[in-house]
Amino acid sequence: MLGRRGRPGLIGLAARTAVVAGTATAVSGGIASRRQRNEQEAAEAQAWQAQQQQQAMDAAAAQAVANAAPATQPTPAPASGGGDLMGQLTQLAALHDQGVLSDEEFAAGKAKLLG
């Protein structure tokens, strides 16, 4: 008795089916994980690109704000009274502290207010 010829038996058929099903599951799982990994990498790349664009827009906006100096420097109003003079000097000093007025402009404004 050398072996059986012809169609496989029930156990052989079940084993072949299990091998085919296991292979199909492994292949489809590999494809699904590769697709998921590629989608995740694409999403990360898109998020990185959006972050870079946002940083570039923020930098451009900051540069525009820095370059947008007022067209005319505020000139202090002429002194009209003693109480108002103190307020104008305080406002002039605040503008100087903020960097709106240079030292020369501050001195000229103060001299104009003080007479």
HEC sequence for 26-91? HHHHHHHHHHHHHHHHHHHHHHHHHHHHHHHHHHHHHHHHHHCCCCCCCCCCCCCCHHHHHHHHHH
In this predicted model, what pLDDT tens digit does every residue of 56-111 receive, in sequence order?
888 888 887 777 655 555 555 554 555 688 888 888 899 889 888 889 988 998 88
> Which residue range forms the structural domain that includes residue 21?
9-67
Let me know whether 35 and 56 are in one domain.
Answer: yes
* Within-domain flag for 92: yes
Let me know whether 52 and 80 are in one domain.
Answer: no
Record the tokens describing residue 48, joined without a space: 């990185």
Question: Could you give the CA distance from residue 19 to residue 25 in angstroms, rounded to a whole number?
Answer: 10
How many separate domains does the chain show? 2
The reported pLDDT for the residue numbered 79 is 46
* Within-domain flag for 40: yes
Let me know whether 44 and 19 are in one domain.
Answer: yes
Let me know whether 14 and 62 are in one domain.
Answer: yes
Q: Quick one: what percent of the chain has pLDDT higher than 90?
A: 20
